[in-house]
Amino acid sequence: MTYTFDPLVPRQIDRPTEVAVGPLTAERSAALDEAKIFAGPADPADREAWRETLRAWRADARERHGYTGAAYERPEAAWAAGCSTVAQVWLWDELLYSFEEHRFTPERFLADAAERFGGLDAVVLWHAYPVIGLDDRNQWDFYRDVPGIAHLVATFHEAGLRVFVDYNPWDVGTRRGADDLDELAGVVGELGADGVFLDTLKKAEPELVARLEEARPGIVLEGESKLPVERIEDHSSSWAQFFADSPVPGVLRAHWYERRHMQHHVRRWHRDHSEELQSAWLNGVGVMVWEVVFGVWVGWSRRDAATVRRLVTVQRAVRDLLLEGEWTPLAPLSAEAEAAGVYASRWSLDGVTLWTLVNRGATDYTGRVLAPDAAERSGGRLTPLTDVPDTQVAGVAPASDTSEVTVPGRGIAALLHVAEGTPDPAWLPDLLTAPAAVPHDPDARFPHRLARRVPAPTHPVSGTQAAPVAHTSGRPAGAVVVPAGEYVLTVRYRARETGMYQGAPYVDEWKPLPPRLHDARTLQRDGVLATPVAVASAEVTNAQFAEFLAATGYVPAVRHRFLAHWPEGRPPAGEADRPVTFVDLDDARAYCAWAGGRLPTEDEWQLAGEARPDLFGVDRPGPAVWSWTESEHSDGRTRFVMLKGGSDHGAEGSDWYVEGGRHAPDYAVKLLVPGLGLARSAAVGFRCAWEVPA
């Protein structure tokens, strides 16, 4: 049978594994080792045998792999088993960083997470990709060179969150320092990180595990995809990315093997997260909240955010029950509930039983959910933990005994039974009055954001002590004049996960693979120039920028990395005529304003370049650097700017790097803008533009 790749459906390796019930053979047991999710059987009559097969596999696999569970006994790592939500966040996400105030704003980020998602348990501070490769800085530089990052980590710790750093094993073509083991261990120690996210890796090799444990006892390692069963031994957590569930919900293999092993469901490009949220709820695991994927907005709907809020509120309260109770996946339910697409896991411990319920259907189900012969129907007290009636909340304790529950369409619910003679759990009163009691939000619309052009500052030299007088020489000879009028441009770019101007590049796709990922693409842009514009034929040089500083006394608002290549504040000997670099957008704007002009937009730059490719293109004379353009954009979460021209620098060895080398004028790179001076690069300079009077 021929398999045709369809990016909108799960790949074969993402699909659940069918479980043949009956005695295990060595071959069948080894095959189950490779599962992501054990598929649930459609016929309720098959489910007890299915559960027994899963129990037999677990016992067999633990024996075959010599499982000890020692990693889960580390007191410093115990938090991982209760880490229900982890957010992956770009360091310069505009919820976490203010470009206007030039400071991190964790208080704003945490307030938003608390309101929409019920708070977070951990964050992954994403730092280097997709800007790495622009120059020689390596992944460690993009952590160590961030002013105040250790304080940011400490602030998250004070708020009760754990912090993961990111490891990019593919970073092999930038500046070399110590070996990766020493560098990563050093960063973990310096920042006080609690965990390491293993980008592109399913697991860390034992040598890396040992080195990190030495640097930070109790370090939690989380791989990006399916963790081999034998490595559940030393990895406390894993990423359930692109795991497709069965129509009847299945069981996560790694979590079934070790209940304390935390998994985080994530489908980064999907706009409907209900399936992975339901799988997390039924398996007692967590989710990855990732709303900005490498600069692209993929925000969560109100429905899915509310589901996360309900999920984490209950999970945090009943964690001991989820970890230590007897877990019965696909617990028996009433025929009418099953017919409506309602499924449940049952968790029982010391007279307390919890059902975590999901509704695979699109419409709400309200009615009895327990099977007629369920032991819990004959005594004790039953109460819903979600969508609690007002009278019940007011009384705190359950007001009536009922197994009737509302399970929202594509949502989740919970039902609790306390056996006769068993005292109410200490957490029950708080849980009944917690946000878990709020109604399900049915609004599943995608919360679109538009990236808009950020207006150039009215006072682009505001970093100086006094506003300078514009340079009187104005437009230099040789500038390329672009005529006024309408224009149409073809722009070439590489299809990275950053996308380009609007929207996610891989909406609802599973795992984008080449040729869809990193392939060459084109788009068309059109516009109108109201007046002719002259664009300088070359980048501003070190000597010219030194003249600007002498004339104005310009001091940037953030000095970090400003002219870092100038020893003692002067251009290096012999480099006066080279393009000035280690300047950011505001530095370039300030110079252009002093010169009587401004930065060119990306379109103006391209129009001038296509008119004179000998001055702008691959064969332009002299050293080549990328050019800043007055094409800064923001969607309220990500700042980005379009770079033009290309540079002589190029990082080799990975497709994940920013593409280097010289490029024709029609080529563009979308660069996410870092803050606190990190946008200043050895490979980026600028040209000026002037509007030409009619």
DSSP string, 560-627: TTTTTTSGGGSPPTT-TTSBP-S--HHHHHHHHHHTT-BPPPHHHHHHHHHH-HHHHSTT-SS---EE
Q: Which residues contact 423 (CB under 8 A, 6 or more apart)?
A: none
Q: Residues 630-639: what's their mean pLDDT?
A: 98
Is there a contact between 121 and 159 (Cβ–Cβ < 8 Å)? no
Mean pLDDT calculated for residue range 617-632: 97
| Residue with the larger pLDDT of the pair 463 and 510 | 510
pLDDT band of residue 3 (cuts 50, 70, 90) is low
* CB-based contact 447:629 (threshold 8 Å): no
Nearest residue to 7 (alpha-carbon basis) of 553, 681, 510 = 510
Q: Cβ contacts of residue 28 below 8 Å, gap of 6+?
A: 20
Res. 466: pLDDT tops 50: no
Going through 436-569 in order, the beta strands assigned E by DSSP cover 452-453, 480-482, 485-494, 520-529, 533-535
Amino acid identity, position 346? R
Strand 162-167 and strand 195-198: pairing? parallel
What is the β-pairing status of strands 404-407 and 533-535?
unpaired
Q: Is the pLDDT of residue 68 over 60?
A: yes
Question: How big is the CA angle at 107 (ends 101 and 108), to the nearest 5 degrees?
Answer: 70
Tally the residues of the chain.
Answer: 694
Architecture field, domain 452-691: Alpha-Beta Complex (3.90)
Integer angstrom CA distances of residue 235 from 172, 197, 220, 284: 25, 11, 7, 18
Q: Which of 77, 80, 121 is nearest to 289 (CA)?
A: 121
Instruction: Give the pLDDT band (50/70/90) at residue 476.
Output: confident
Helix (H, G, I), strand (E, B) or coil at 384: strand
pLDDT digits (tens, 9 = 90+) for 133-180: 999 999 999 999 999 999 999 999 999 999 999 999 999 999 999 999
The contacts found for 606-609 with CB under 8 angstroms, 24 or more apart, are 606/489, 606/491, 606/644, 606/665, 606/666, 606/668, 607/482, 607/487, 607/489, 607/529, 607/535, 608/480, 608/482, 608/533, 608/535, 608/665, 609/644, 609/645, 609/664, 609/665, 609/666
Q: How far apart are CA 259 and CA 381, in angstroms?
A: 27
CATH class of 11-290: alpha beta
Is the pLDDT at 92 greater than 90? The verdict is: yes
Give the model confidence (pLDDT) of 395-408 as tens digits: 334 434 566 899 99
Mind giving me the DSSP string for 10-54? --GGGSPBP---SSPPHHHHHHHHT-SEEPPPSSGGGHHHHHHHH
* Chain centroid to CA 608: 37
Q: Is 81 exposed, middle or buried (0-12, 13-18, 19+ CB in 10 A)?
A: buried
Query: Facing residues of 418 across strands?
Result: 352, 381
Q: Is the pLDDT of residue 660 over 90?
A: yes
pTM comes to: 0.95
Across the range 248-276, mean pLDDT stands at 98
The model's confidence at residue 22, banded by pLDDT at 50, 70 and 90, is: confident
Annotated domain spans of the chain: 11-290, 312-445, 452-691
Report d(CA 465, CA 552) in Å as an integer: 9
Strand 237-241 vs strand 220-223: parallel, antiparallel, or unpaired? parallel
Mean pLDDT, the chain, as a whole number? 93
- Residue pair 227/252 in contact (Cβ under 8 Å)? The answer is no
Q: How many CB atoms lie under 10 A from the CB of residue 499?
A: 20
Task: State residue 396's pLDDT score.
Answer: 35
CA distance 376 to 417: 7
The mean pLDDT of 637-665, rounded to a whole number, is 97
Contacts of 121 (CB under 8 A, 6+ apart): 79, 82, 83, 84, 85, 86, 161, 162, 286, 312
Tell me what the mean pLDDT of segment 587-598 comes to: 97
Q: How confident is the model over 349-406, as pLDDT tens digits?
A: 999 999 999 999 999 999 999 988 886 766 888 999 887 554 443 333 443 456 689 9
Q: What is the mean pLDDT of residues 629-640?
A: 98
Cα dihedral sign, 321-322-325-331: positive
pLDDT for the residue numbered 514:
85
Q: Is the pLDDT of residue 678 over 70?
A: yes
Mean pLDDT of all residues in 64-79? 97
Helix, strand or coil for residue 452?
strand
Alpha-helical segments (H) within 145-239: 149-158, 180-191, 206-215
Close Cβ partners of 546 (under 8 Å, ≥ 6 residues apart): 570, 571, 576
Q: In this structure, what token pair is assigned to residue 420?
A: 């006769």
The CATH H-level superfamily of 312-445 is Golgi alpha-mannosidase II (2.60.40.1180)
**Percentage of the chain modeled with pLDDT above 90:** 88
Give the 3-state DSSP-derived string for 544-575, with helices as H, strands as E and coil as C.
Answer: HHHHHHHHHCCCCCCCCCCCCCCHHHCCCCCC
Cβ atoms of 91 and 673 closer than 8 Å: no
CA 365 to chain centre: 33
Residue 163 C-beta-side C-alpha neighbours within 13 Å: 27
With a CB cutoff of 8 Å and minimum separation 6, the contacts of 410 are 272, 274, 278, 303, 359, 360, 361, 362, 444
Q: What is the pLDDT of residue 472?
A: 46
For residues 449 and 591, the answer to whether their CB atoms sit within 8 Å is: no
Q: Which of 164, 147, 2 is nearest to 80 (CA)?
A: 164
Residue 461: pLDDT band (50, 70, 90) is low
Cα 437–Cα 441–Cα 445 angle in degrees, nearest 5? 160
User: Is the pLDDT assigned to residue 214 strictly greater than 70?
Assistant: yes
Q: Are 689 and 604 within 8 A, CB to CB?
A: yes
One-letter identity of residue 625: V
Q: Find where tokens 């940037």 sit.
A: 556
Give 339's contacts (C-beta < 8 A, 6+ positions apart).
none
Instruction: Evaluate if residue 52 carries a pLDDT over 90.
Output: yes
Give the up-direction half-sphere exposure of residue 367: CA atoms within 13 A in the CB hemisphere: 16
User: pLDDT exceeding 70 applies to what percent of the chain?
Assistant: 94
Taking the C-alpha atoms of residue 15 and residue 243, their distance in angstroms, rounded to an integer, is 7
Widest CA span of the chain, in angstroms? 93
